[in-house]
Amino acid sequence: MSLVSLKFLLFAKTASSDPRTDHNIRASSQFLYYRQNHPGLYFRHGYNVVCFSGKLEPFSWNNVIKAYATCNADCSRREAVRVFVDMRRLGIRPNEHTFPFLFKACASFLGLGVGRQIHGDVLKHGLHFNVYVQNTLIHFYGCCKKILDAYKVFDEMTHRTVVSWNSVISASIECSWFYDSIELFIKMRDRGFEPDETTMVIVLSSCAELGNLSLGKWVHSQVIAKGMSVNCQLGTALVDMYGKCGDVDYASLVFRRTVHRNVWTWSSMILGFAQHGFAGYALQLFDEMRRNHSIKPNHVTFLGVLCACSHAGLVEDGRYYFNEMKQVHGISPRMVHFGAMVDILGRAGLLEEAYAFVTKMPFEADAVVWRALLSACTIHDVNDCTGVGEKVRRRLTELEPKRCGNFVMLANSFAEVGLWEKAAQLRSRMRRGGLKKIGGASFLEVGGSTFKFFSGDYSCVPFSDIILLLNTLNLHANMIRF
Ligand SMILES: *[C@@H]1O[C@H](CO)[C@@H](O)[C@H](O)[C@H]1NC(C)=O
Ligand SMILES: *[C@@H]1O[C@H](CO)[C@@H](O)[C@H](O)[C@H]1NC(C)=O
């Protein structure tokens, strides 16, 4: 039996003894069973559910939608929408309990188009002033990176709750409007809403993404001032924030003081150490974590471990952990893990092995991975004796023909080895192609100091650190807020 139907039966068992409710639950769990196991019979059964329940009420349907929207496998979340469509076809009027789970489902598979249509249905049924519907709409638009739509729903709210504020702050972070999220947080307090632990977790993740330590400390002071107990999530958010903002000592202090730690807490600390070059501490902590068998490492843990191996130049250990991740823990390496492994091999000057490694990846390497290798080539094999550099350059210009950073890097590396003519040719190609040298500068506060870097200009900090940093920033934003 699938997890969903199991959940359903459990729910059915614990539900009230009201015979009508009981009947509805039985009908809807049967419905679910048929839909999954006998797709052919399902439609007839769908009608049966309606006939059995006697009335055109949405109760059983809402439960089916909820079960699909909250199940673990991504694929079946779309089913929630299909059930909704069937429900509407049968002429059943949705109510305020129908929509929140639908928007949650749409958010999870980023179904912007279908979500907008359902939003239209909300308006048609006059439920657009329901606070639960509005909260999930904000969440949905945030996940789909439609911040203006999220703000519009928020601005139109006549009644807001803490959850509404958390949703809109979270949405602005989702869309990388980090300073906006801080402003919203301040506005929230000014309007007399009391932030809860979730608010703090969200706002701390924004500070972490900004790398703004002073801001992060200020939010931490708010946590202390409110006398909030530092639960697992809040502890993790603090460790993550201090780690990302470069205050590893403080991250460590908070980590030791957090009583309830889960794998995310450990991973944030390991990654924090690794990113700031404390490879030894990172690996020590990983060992300590493994002594507690109830905590299973995940993909972020291994990212931290690989990052540490890269800093410490531990090629053998890197290979070992990369394989352990797959073979012992069944974690499929993602792009960042391949990138980290390429970085390990590249830093050690094993350019040909790194190149072979990239070509054997189960999916196409992205430009970030290739750039990590290119950067290693420009350090270890300036004259390109191995020929790897040339192959990587070609691949990169194929992948990103318009990206001026690659040209800049290429031109610079040609110039470095004295190939002035080639460099000059390339620069003129850039001009012809209408590429401006400086597309956009970014600022990052790393380890307490602010770095300015351009796409393609990696002279200010060791190149691969920034890449890893940027990658993990994204990874973490999603992880903390679940
Ligand atoms: C950190 O945030 C504060 C408040 O928004 C701002 O005044 C300050 O300039 C920021 N610091 C950096 C380094 O960006
Ligand atoms: C192992 O981790 C669990 C979950 O965080 C915790 O409850 C337990 O106390 C830990 N055990 C040891 C020996 O640290």
Atom of ligand 1 nearest to the CA of 182: 5
Residue partners of 273: CB distance under 8 A and separation at least 6: 243, 248, 252, 279, 281, 282, 285, 304, 308
What's 452's DSSP letter?
E
Task: Answer yes or no: are the C-beta atoms of 42 and 35 closer than 8 Å.
Answer: yes
Mean predicted lDDT score pLDDT of the chain:
79
More confident residue, 14 or 274: 274
174 lines ligand 1 (CB under 6 A): no
C-alpha to C-alpha distance for 216 and 176, rounded to whole angstroms: 17
- Alpha carbon of 252 to ligand 2 centroid (Å): 18
Phi, psi for residue 449 in degrees, rounded to 5: -120, 150
- Alpha carbon of 293 to ligand 2 centroid (Å): 8
- Alpha carbon of 67 to ligand 2 centroid (Å): 32
Claim: this prediction has a pTM higher than 0.85: no
The single-letter code of the amino acid at 325 is M
The single-letter code of the amino acid at 458 is Y
Give the lowest-confidence range in 335-339, 341-345, 381-385: 381-385
Q: Note the ligand closest to the C-alpha atom of 217.
A: 1
Alpha-helical segments (H) within 381-462: 388-399, 404-416, 420-432
Alpha-helical segments (H) within 245-298: 248-257, 263-275, 279-291
Exposed / middle / buried, residue 400 (Cβ in 10 Å: 0-12, 13-18, 19+):
middle
Task: Answer yes or no: are the C-beta atoms of 317 and 284 closer than 8 Å.
Answer: no
Q: Nearest-CA neighbor of 72 among 6, 124, 12, 25?
A: 6
Sign of CA dihedral 376, 312, 296, 109: negative
Our mutation pick for probing the ligand 2 site, out of 292, 293, 295, 296, counting the most ligand atoms within 8 A of Cβ, is: 292
Residue 24, pLDDT > 70, answer no
Most confidently modeled range among 5-14, 54-63, 109-118: 109-118
Atom of ligand 1 nearest to the CA of 210: 14
Residue 433, pLDDT > 70, answer no
212 lines ligand 1 (CB under 6 A): yes
pLDDT in tens, 182-201: 999 999 999 999 999 999 99
Which residue CA neighbors atom 7 of ligand 1 most closely?
A: 215
Task: Answer yes or no: are the C-beta atoms of 321 and 340 closer than 8 Å.
Answer: no
pLDDT in tens, 86-105: 888 888 899 999 999 999 99
Which residue CA neighbors atom 6 of ligand 1 most closely?
A: 215
- Alpha carbon of 292 to ligand 2 centroid (Å): 6
Residue 149, pLDDT > 90, answer yes
Give the lowest-confidence range in 19-33, 89-103, 315-329, 383-397: 19-33
Q: Nearest-CA neighbor of 219 among 275, 233, 234?
A: 234
Q: Note the ligand closest to the C-alpha atom of 451.
A: 1
Ligand 2 pocket by Cβ (under 6 Å): 261, 292, 294-295
Show the beta-strand stretches assigned E in 309-378: none
